[in-house]
Structure 1
Amino acid sequence: MNQINYSSKNASLRLTGYYASFFAVYGIAIPIWPRWLEGQISLEYVGIVLGVAYWLKVAVVPIASSVADLVGDRRRVLISLSSMVLIGLAILPFVEGWVLYAVVWGLAGAALSTGVPLSDGVTIRLGQLIGVEFGKVRRWGSVSFIVSSLGVGALADKFGLDAIYAMMIFASVLLLIASFWVPKVYTAPDSKKVPLLRPLKLPNFPLFLITVGLLLASHASLYGFSAIYWKSLGYSNTVITLLWIVGVLAEIAMFSVSDRLIGRFGAMPMIIVAAAGGVIRWTLLATVTALPLLVLAQLFHALTFALLYMSIVGYVAKRVPPAISASAQGLQDSLSMGIFFGLLTMLAGSLYEFNPASCFLLMAVCSGLGVVLGAILLIRVRRYEQQQEGS
């Protein structure tokens, strides 16, 4: 039995602190951290170092999530992961050669990424128990991402690359502190069995994984090649940054209202809406070059990411038992942002060399397939639930 010693407001404040700290680190790690790495190792190895963290995540996320289900306390695992990030960062200046950088940052970067599904699991559970609204908490992570990336980028331009490392350490210290502040919610395991793959036995969960994994990974061309593509169209770095900010602002707005949308219409119909938004967005990015239309395409980030993300949360909260929810979140994250994202990034890279616009058309095709899979998922889940009610 769970005994919650927090009010909804207090728990929301604590979780907001974690998300803000986490995405302050992420706001440096994703767009700016490669600039610091380039100053430490040869440029040709920067991609390898970053890639190791990316692929290690495929193993680290589900394993850590499974451990969280076994111990029943996500906070303890979050503290351990945050400690790994800070220790890894502290070690980096004392190592030499790209191989050691790949090992140290590979583990630290994978540990950092694992914080997403675990913290989401805590927030989902507190939403079930005391009414914490996921979207309204999570939106502050997006705000923090913008502030962190813009602020640290400006500091690096003024004070040099060492400012990036210093701010990465500072943000990671805040993340560790925030990890201790995360509400403690104990969820008793169902059994002594390792829960790593148990979510796959849930009705329709494999189809759900493939559907949302494909849709989340459809952002591969955006993350990997949009800045390069827009630069080739003649847009300045300032304009490109503003295009990214438009997308994040749309994301924040959707996080603010998504709880009500999903509560009214359900998670699965919203997955289909998000997929349809992806068809429109990626087709626009592949076919238009005028700035107003690019801004319009970026506004669809509210659907393709924020609404989809919240729909995933809603589906897991309703249809996955709390005792294996961390494992379910870990499987979803490692498949979506690990395996699928990695494969689509490589394929998009090959297409970009052939025709830059074609890599976005590939994402439109993935979203179109997501519409079909989402409709099948909706039909199958509704049919299963009707059978359960009738039995």
Structure 2
Amino acid sequence: MQPSYTHRAASLRMQGYYTAFFAVYGIAIPLWPRWLEGEVTLQYVGFVLGVSYWLKLVIVPITAWIADAIGDRRQVMIALAVMLFVLLAMMPFFEGWIAFAVLWGLGGAMLSTGIPLSDGLTMRLGQLLGVDFGKVRSWGSFSFMASALAVGALADQFGDQVIYWAMVVTSVLLIIAAIAAPKVHTEPLNDKTPLFEPLKLPNFPLFLVTVSLLLSTHAALYGFSAIYWKSLGYSNLTITLLWMAGVVAEIAMFSISSRIIDRFGAMPMIIVAAVGGVVRWMLLSYATELPLIVIGQALHAFTFALLYMSLIAYMSKRVPPAISASAQGLYDSLSMGVFFGVLTMAAGALYEMDPAYSFLLMAGCSFVGGGLAVLLLAKVRRYERRELDLSES
């Protein structure tokens, strides 16, 4: 069904959603642990944070299935934003790590589940109205950077309670942005459960494993880079600027990636992203000089932005709209749940032996992912040639 929005209106509404969403995310990822340290003992902070990742394995597929079953991602996005606000609002009335593990476990999972749903909605708007995913999504990157810097500075001046209240305020903005998101109805499958239907698509399981493995190679960066760079003598400000360098590179790639993928194709660009990962993680394994680390961070344009845009382009072309939310949920659960969790634990064990080993593991996974991407390219092209021959015969 064609939505009753102009291209500009749909783009602006999704820009608003990504701006609000990543305003929350820009606090939750780098700053939320600081607030939690004041509410629960330090030994339980990691557990409280980890619960949300494991709950994603349940919540993401279920919400994706609901979105496909009712044919409306926006309704699910609104529900998730409201539940996040309620869970955050309940926190001052509880104490102890168990209560916070439940509240933030659910809240963090609700928050991160908004990513595959909103990406799926933007992808669908691209199919219907020509909305440019990269340009719309780049607003989230700007918002993440601005939110993290602003709230971090305010917390340094006025105390860590600023972090909690900033989370509450931005979650309200997220509810408003979700309500304002475009209404797009996708006709659901009447006689099937869409949750695992994407796995029946030709070559989709191989695609799923390939992109999930490549996305999860960021585990060492997210988990241990700040600790490692601080051990090299870099200040908190320098480390923050290194993270911002990656975000700036991401924004730049989002702005041009659509043209690159249109010219060369999604699957070859997945291979390029894998090669970028091998170079990046090898470089960060041994780089101690600031210019080399900056170059490594600039490669975020390839390891994340180009890879992400390529997987969106692949699914836009090869996944039917009726099961696209389920497809998004499957890759998000596998990449940011199973693979990311396993590689984070492995990287932590290796980091204790030698920090370089944790990044070398990521380089090895990028190499394997690149091999799988080459195999995927060959299998998809073989399948498409066979389908073309059948249609012509």
Give the TM-score taking structure 1 as reference length: 0.99
What pairs up with 1:250-269 in 2 under 5 angstroms? Answer: 250-269=249-268
Q: Secondary structure at the match of 1:357?
A: helix
Kindly indicate whether the alpha-carbon contact (under 8 Å) linking 1:253 and 1:302 is maintained by their aligned counterparts in 2. Answer: yes
Match of 2:87 in 1: 88
1:279 aligns with 2:289: no
What does the per-residue CA deviation read over 1:69-103, in whole Å, with 9 as the maximum and x for residues that have no partner?
00000000000000111011000111121111111
Give the Cα–Cα distance (whole angstroms) in 2 for the partners of residues 383 and 191 of structure 1: 32
What does the per-residue CA deviation read over 1:93-122, in whole Å, with 9 as the maximum and x for residues that have no partner?
111211111111111110101000000010
What pairs up with 1:154-303 in 2 under 5 angstroms? Answer: 154-303=153-302
Match of 2:10 in 1: 11
Structure 2: 5+ residue stretches without partners: none
What pairs up with 1:114-125 in 2 under 5 angstroms? Answer: 114-125=113-124
Give the Cα–Cα distance (whole angstroms) in 2 for the partners of residues 279 and 332 of structure 1: 21
Deviation at 1:4, TM superposition (A): 1.2
Give the Cα–Cα distance (whole angstroms) in 2 for the partners of residues 152 and 286 of structure 1: 31
Aligned residue pair count: 390
- Output the amino acid matched with 1:113: S
Deviation at 1:190, TM superposition (A): 2.2
Deviation at 1:218, TM superposition (A): 0.3
Deviation at 1:263, TM superposition (A): 1.1
What does the per-residue CA deviation read over 1:284-327, in whole Å, with 9 as the maximum and x for residues that have no partner?
00022111000011100000000000011001100000000000
Kindly indicate whether the alpha-carbon contact (under 8 Å) linking 1:70 and 1:192 is maintained by their aligned counterparts in 2. Answer: no
Mean Cα deviation higher: 273-282 or 186-195: 186-195
Give the Cα–Cα distance (whole angstroms) in 2 for the partners of residues 38 and 183 of structure 1: 38
- Output the amino acid matched with 1:170: V
- Output the amino acid matched with 1:274: A
Kindly indicate whether the alpha-carbon contact (under 8 Å) linking 2:285 and 2:356 is maintained by their aligned counterparts in 1. Answer: yes
Match of 2:34 in 1: 35
Give the Cα–Cα distance (whole angstroms) in 1 for the partners of residues 326 and 363 of structure 2: 30
Match of 1:355 in 2: 354
Deviation at 1:130, TM superposition (A): 0.6
Give the Cα–Cα distance (whole angstroms) in 1 for the partners of residues 335 and 191 of structure 2: 28
- Output the amino acid matched with 1:46: V
- Output the amino acid matched with 1:307: L
Give the Cα–Cα distance (whole angstroms) in 2 for the partners of residues 264 and 351 of structure 1: 40
Match of 1:73 in 2: 72
Deviation at 1:162, TM superposition (A): 1.1
What does the per-residue CA deviation read over 1:242-285, in whole Å, with 9 as the maximum and x for residues that have no partner?
11010000000000001111111111000000000000000000
Match of 2:313 in 1: 314
Deviation at 1:193, TM superposition (A): 2.1
> What is the CA RMSD across the aligned residues, in angstroms?
0.6
Kindly indicate whether the alpha-carbon contact (under 8 Å) linking 2:2 and 2:128 is maintained by their aligned counterparts in 1. Answer: no
What does the per-residue CA deviation read over 1:219-243, in whole Å, with 9 as the maximum and x for residues that have no partner?
0000000000001111111111111
- Output the amino acid matched with 1:185: V
What does the per-residue CA deviation read over 1:141-199, in whole Å, with 9 as the maximum and x for residues that have no partner?
00000000000000101111111111111100000000001000000012232211110
Match of 2:387 in 1: 388
Q: Could you tell me the percent identity over the aligned residues?
A: 65
Deviation at 1:371, TM superposition (A): 1.0
Kindly indicate whether the alpha-carbon contact (under 8 Å) linking 2:44 and 2:97 is maintained by their aligned counterparts in 1. Answer: yes
Match of 1:139 in 2: 138
Moved over 4 A (4+): none
Give the Cα–Cα distance (whole angstroms) in 2 for the partners of residues 283 and 241 of structure 1: 21
- Output the amino acid matched with 1:21: A
Mean Cα deviation higher: 191-200 or 113-122: 191-200
Structure 1: 5+ residue stretches without partners: none
Give the TM-score taking structure 2 as reference length: 0.99
Q: Secondary structure at the match of 2:185?
A: coil
Give the Cα–Cα distance (whole angstroms) in 1 for the partners of residues 301 and 371 of structure 2: 20
Give the Cα–Cα distance (whole angstroms) in 1 for the partners of residues 163 and 287 of structure 2: 35
